[in-house]
Structure formats: C-alpha cells, structure tokens
Chain A
Amino acid sequence: MVDVAVIGAGQTKYGNHPLGLKAMWAEAATNAFNSVDNNFEANLVDEAFIGSVAFGGAQLGNTAAILTEHSGMKGCSVRRVENACASSGFALRDAMMAIKSGEADIVVAGGIEKMNDLSAERKRYWLGVSGDTEWERLAGLTFPGTYALMARRHFHEYGSNHDDLVNISVKNHMHGFENEFAHIRKEVSFEKAASGFMVADPLTLYDCCPTSDGASCVILAADHVVREFTDDPIWLKGSGAGSDHLALHDRHSITQMSAPQKAVAQAYKGSGVATTDIDLADVHTCFTIVELMATEDQGFANRGIGGLFARQGRGIRDEGDVAINPSGGLKSKGHPLGATGTGQAVEVFKQLKGTVESARQIRDAKIGLTHNVGGSGATCAVHIFGRDR
C-alpha cells in the first residue's frame, strides 16, 4: 500500500476577509505551494478535492472547478466535497484515498467558505442547514440550540458545568492570541467569558465560534514522489471517518458522539498510534461543549470527566499534557465551515515542521491529530499526522 505524506500546507487568515472566493483560494494555494521545501508547480496536481458548504449560494455549482481554474490547476480532476463543517476533513480523506488507490501521485485537499459578505438577515437563512432541518428547524433549533441541548444534558448526567466550558474558551483564546491566522486574536479572562450574553441557554457568546471567511489548502504526495519535493515530509499516518443520525432525537445518546468515536478508533488502528502518543490535537470547537465531548470521545479523558479535564486546566500547550487546539481552535482561530478541516491539517503540519510562530510552537511535537465534525455530529473525519513514517 502506498504511504501518503503532506508536502505543503497553507491558509488565509480567518475572519472578515476582504477578498472574494477566487482570491481567497489563490492566497491559500499560494501559501501551500510556497511551503513546499523544493519547487512546486500547480500543474503537477493530479486531483483536487475542495470542501465547501457554498454558504450563501454565491458559487453553489462547480465550486472546485472555478477555484482550481483560477489557481493554476485547470484541467485536473476536481470536485467539491460537502459534509457540512466536516467538508474539508472529508476532502482530505478522499485525497489520501486517491493516492492510496494508485490513481494519483499528487493531490490537493482544501476548503473554502465566504460567510461575511451576506447581510445579517440572509446569513441566518444559511446557518443551521446541516441538521435534520425538517424536524430540528421546525422545533426552533439551529446549532447553538442543538449543542445547548447536549451541554445541559452533559451537565445533568455527569456533573460538568458551565465553568468547565468557560475554561475551554479562555484556553482557546489564549492559544489563538498568538496565531497570526486567527479570526479573534484576543485573550479573555475567566470572568469576562463567564459573563457573556446568553445565545442558547446555557451557551453564551464565549461558548460560540465566530462565522469566518477563509480558505485552506494541503498538498499530499505518494511516497515514491515525496523526495522530489522535500526531505522532511509530514506523514499522514491514519485516517478515520464515521457518520450518525443527523437529528439529536434519533441518537442513542446526546452526551457523546458516535461518529467521532468510530472515526478516531479507525484512525488510531490504521496509524498504530495510541492516545498517549498524541502531542497536539486540533479538535472541532464550534461550541465549547464540542471540545469537552471531544476530549472524551478522542480518549484524552474518560467518559464523563471532560469537564474535570477542562477544570484542571489540562490541554494547555507545553504543560506536559496533550495540547488541545494550540491554534485557538474554531473558537478563536475561526470557523469558515468548508475550510476548517484542512485548516486544522495546516496547523498540525506547521507544528510538526516547527514553522508556527515561536510563542505557540509545541516543543518536540512529533504526532498530531485533527478532529473535524459536521453538523451536530452527523459526520466526522479524524486524521493522525507524524514526523515519522
């Protein structure tokens, strides 16, 4: 079986981006191409998988074709991958499989979303479209609401509380403050994060990620061509994915997510890596409760003690534990839906290469994990990267 390496990765800054879709993608692709150690040319790409929800409908059809056309990849086989917020996590998985199949040697996985060029009123129509709309929207739910239901139930079943979520928010803002690509580069105190206005009880403003514009791009290569581009590749050691009921009311439990559990088990098994080997994890944090549940689902904390894990201040970079969301996560770095999954891979790639800002570089990082959730947990892709093959 062919092994797959990441040879380059780049992204735009997340936030209220001044550029449109084509220019944002070009910026992310350029950053990715320039991150390759040796010369890289766009026309070398065999296949491209680009994740996007196509938020706002600006380029709903042939999204990938128009983006690659404008970034030197015209002619290669392309498609848009859509799995809600996990779109580019799955694009990355598809790209890896394209190489493993033997059909392609160099493949681009990326993602993009433009969310802030819509009026506030129009934006509301495009938020919360990835749940079971027929049942959940008719019950007044968008994702703040569905995750609020999970949070309140987790508090009830396990004794976690809102202060635990506040700790997660404070940690992520601390990490993101140093990240030049982050949407919200602002540290917040516990007191301030605890007193945010209520969005969906019990979740406040500081529990919710921003809506961001952004693009991200990762270049994968088959083992037999890797050395043409770098002597220091980052290996994609494992990949896992799963799906679940879209609607919360159809699930076995709303305090854990079966899709991420399946995905991570598959990724650990394929990579031969154990939880304790992970130096850093970029986990989905569209809402702080997701990170709390992810620490349990990914095995960093036992079932029900994700709250205690956060309360003890664990997950902070270079504190001897796994660093969770050293980028600031979706909470601080931002969440341009379709770009998020490969954006997580960009972070892990740079951390393992030792090329992030010095203040937030994880010491001796060798293995990193990304965890990208779609909707309220209906889809999830997990990837494990390592310096060693």
Chain B
Amino acid sequence: MDEETIVWKGYLACIGEDSCVVQSPWYLGDDCVFGADSDYTTLAIAAIQLLQSKGSQINSINALNDVEASIIFMATGVEVMQTSNDDSEELTANWDLCISDDARVVVCKTDCDVELWEPEGGLEVDEEFHQQITLAWEKECLPEHVSQGAYISEQQYQEGAAARLNLMSQKMDGELIWPPRQMDKKGNLMPQASTSLQEVATIESWTKLAAAGAPSEFSIRAPLLGGITTVFVRFEQGPRGVFLLVDDEDNNPKIGDQVQFAIRRIYAQEAFIRYGLKCQIIRD
C-alpha cells in the first residue's frame, strides 16, 4: 500500500492496488474520532468511491452490520452483503469492508493483506465539542425523536435519494434537469433520471443561519455548531441546488468559490438517518 496520505472527500486516505484505508481527520489524543456529521457509512462510501475513481470494479462487498447497506448501494452501486462476525461462511463477495474500533474503514479484496498506515494531516478536535456532538447524535437517533410538524418521511426521502446521493439528473432536449421533475409543460411524464451531474459546482449565494433560525430537524446540533451554513450552487452542466457544508467546519464561503461534494449525515428522526451530499469548498 502506498504510504502517501490523500485528502479525499474531507477524509484522510491511503490507497493500494486492491485496497484503501479511509479515516476521519479528527483526533482526540491518539484516538481517531468521527467529525460532526460522519459515521462508518460515510467513510465506507468514500472508500468505495476512491477505489472506483482509480478504476476498481466493485460489484458487492462483505460488511458487518454497522453500515447502512441501502445508502451505500444508492451512493456507489455496490451491494453490501451484510453479516455478523460469527457467520464467515456468509461472506460471498470478493471485497471486504472492515471497520476499526476508531473512525477508520478498510476496503480491500478478500485475499488482500492490508498494512495500516500512519496518516499525515490529522487534526485535534476539541474534547468537549466532540463529546457534545456525539451525545447530540445519540439523542437525535433515538426512535422517540420525532417531528411535531414539518416532516420528510423515510418514503419521501427514499424517492429522492438517488438524486440526493448520486446527483442523478434527467436529460431532456439536451439539458440536464436536477433535482428530477415529474412532468413537462405538455403534461408528459419526464424521462428517468439516468445521468449523474459532475461533482463540481460554483457558489452563487450562501447564508449562515443562527441556531435559532435553523429548521427544527437541526435544533439539537445547530447550537453546538454555532449555526449551520447553506450554499446555493450552480453545477457546471447548468442545474442549481442548495447544500449544507461538510462538517460545517469551513463555514466562510464566498460567491464564486468552487465546491466539491461528499456524502454525510444530514439529520435523523425516528431512528432513521437521512444522508445526503454536502459541499466542501475547494481551497488552493
């Protein structure tokens, strides 16, 4: 495995011929810990996407039950064969997703030996903030954490998930349309979303909402984050969209800044986590 540390989707990564390691950049002492909106599912997606970007063909992957298989499939097209530690005979895929005790995942071919590497570029996280944001997520993910008004159900979320996780857009009269629409001006059904937008866009406007102004879905975490930042962006192929910033850690956007995208947690209700793309400002 190459010892060079790559920054990928806001994470630290190291890639070999048939393997890669992806981990959070945040450290609490010697321990690698999750950032404000990451988990094993978002790390796993980043790892698979890194291998895919280097030409690896991954159809399915063996994984423990700590990841959201449906989200990984919608984001990467890779089927997750979920199993427990005791059921090794159920491992049927040629690739493994291994999860460490800290915020790190390995994706590798089943017969591949992976050497762990010491990444460069780790960042120290504030201990109190880390504890608070971890507790906030625990509270947010409880089944009894429910909406008292505005509500995006799991069904509604799933309907738009392919567009939300993969930027799938509709092609019509030479234009790409995103998010997908149902019918055109003549009343005809629109074509299926089948073309992914390029994951680069330019900020056309932005705002940072104070915690008190943020939607109720973010009411537990927004005070810890000091508010939440939303950017209004235009993709190179034309469509526009609104997105939160990754981790809300680099929240000083400017009109004209270019952004790339990474999948992160958005919020949770009724023990169901809504994942989606967030923007990361491309800094020189």
Interface residues of A in 192-208 (CB under 8 A from B): 197-203
Partner of A126, one of B150, B204, B210, B232: B150
User: Is there an interface contact between A152 and B207, defined as CB atoms closer than 8 Å?
Assistant: yes
User: Is there an interface contact between A135 and B242, defined as CB atoms closer than 8 Å?
Assistant: yes
Contacts known (A121-B219, A248-B232); A134 close to B149, Cβ less than 8 A: no
User: Is there an interface contact between B241 and A148, defined as CB atoms closer than 8 Å?
Assistant: no
User: Is there an interface contact between A137 and B217, defined as CB atoms closer than 8 Å?
Assistant: yes
User: Chain A binding site: helix, strand, loop or mixed by DSSP?
Assistant: helix
Quote the shortest CB–CB distance from A109 to chain B (angstroms).
27
Quote the shortest CB–CB distance from B227 to chain A (angstroms).
8
Quote the shortest CB–CB distance from B35 to chain A (angstroms).
17
A57 touches B (CB below 8 Å)? yes
Interface residues of B in 196-238 (CB under 8 A from A): 204-210, 212-219, 228-230, 232
Chain A residues contacting B100 (CB-CB under 8 Å) are none
A359 touches B (CB below 8 Å)? no
Contacts known (A141-B215, A144-B213); A134 close to B204, Cβ less than 8 A: no
User: Is there an interface contact between A139 and B149, defined as CB atoms closer than 8 Å?
Assistant: no
User: Is there an interface contact between A199 and B212, defined as CB atoms closer than 8 Å?
Assistant: yes
Chain A residues contacting B208 (CB-CB under 8 Å) are 198, 200-201
> In the complex, A372→B143 CA distance in Å?
40
Partner of A129, one of B149, B156, B209: B149
> In the complex, A129→B219 CA distance in Å?
15
User: Is there an interface contact between B215 and A152, defined as CB atoms closer than 8 Å?
Assistant: no
Chain A residues contacting B219 (CB-CB under 8 Å) are 121, 124
Interface residues of B in 135-161 (CB under 8 A from A): 147-150, 152, 156-157, 160
Quote the shortest CB–CB distance from A126 to chain B (angstroms).
4
A266 touches B (CB below 8 Å)? no
B271 touches A (CB below 8 Å)? no
> In the complex, A145→B230 CA distance in Å?
8
Chain B residues contacting A71 (CB-CB under 8 Å) are none
User: Is there an interface contact between B228 and A138, defined as CB atoms closer than 8 Å?
Assistant: no
Contacts known (A139-B244, A140-B215, A200-B213); A125 close to B150, Cβ less than 8 A: yes
Chain B residues contacting A150 (CB-CB under 8 Å) are 205
B276 touches A (CB below 8 Å)? yes
User: Is there an interface contact between B241 and A249, defined as CB atoms closer than 8 Å?
Assistant: yes
User: Is there an interface contact between A149 and B150, defined as CB atoms closer than 8 Å?
Assistant: no
User: Is there an interface contact between A145 and B209, defined as CB atoms closer than 8 Å?
Assistant: yes
User: Is there an interface contact between B209 and A138, defined as CB atoms closer than 8 Å?
Assistant: no
A133 touches B (CB below 8 Å)? yes
Interface size for A (C-beta < 8 A) is 40
Chain B residues contacting A128 (CB-CB under 8 Å) are 150, 215
Chain A residues contacting B179 (CB-CB under 8 Å) are 135, 247, 249-250
Chain A residues contacting B255 (CB-CB under 8 Å) are 152-153, 156
Most buried by A among B232, B243, B244: B232
B274 touches A (CB below 8 Å)? yes
> In the complex, A125→B213 CA distance in Å?
11
Interface residues of A in 225-266 (CB under 8 A from B): 247-250, 254
Instruction: Render A303-315 as a binary contact track against B, CB cut-off 8 A, 1 for contact.
Output: 0000000000000
> In the complex, A229→B126 CA distance in Å?
72
Contacts known (A156-B255, A249-B240); A142 close to B148, Cβ less than 8 A: no
A136 touches B (CB below 8 Å)? yes
Contacts known (A57-B149, A125-B150, A156-B205); A142 close to B214, Cβ less than 8 A: yes
Contacts known (A134-B160, A149-B205, A201-B208); A141 close to B150, Cβ less than 8 A: no
Chain A residues contacting B149 (CB-CB under 8 Å) are 56-57, 122, 124-126, 129
User: Is there an interface contact between B207 and A149, defined as CB atoms closer than 8 Å?
Assistant: yes
A residues whose Cβ falls under 8 Å from a Cβ of B: 56-57, 121-122, 124-129, 133-142, 144-145, 148-150, 152-153, 156, 197-203, 247-250, 254
Could you jot down 28 A-B contacts, CB within 8 Å? A122-B148, A122-B149, A124-B149, A125-B149, A127-B216, A129-B149, A134-B157, A135-B242, A137-B150, A137-B215, A138-B276, A139-B230, A141-B230, A142-B209, A144-B209, A145-B209, A150-B205, A152-B255, A153-B204, A153-B205, A153-B232, A153-B255, A156-B255, A198-B208, A198-B210, A201-B209, A249-B179, A249-B242
Closest 8 CB pairs of A and B: A125-B149, A148-B207, A139-B242, A124-B216, A249-B240, A153-B205, A149-B205, A125-B148
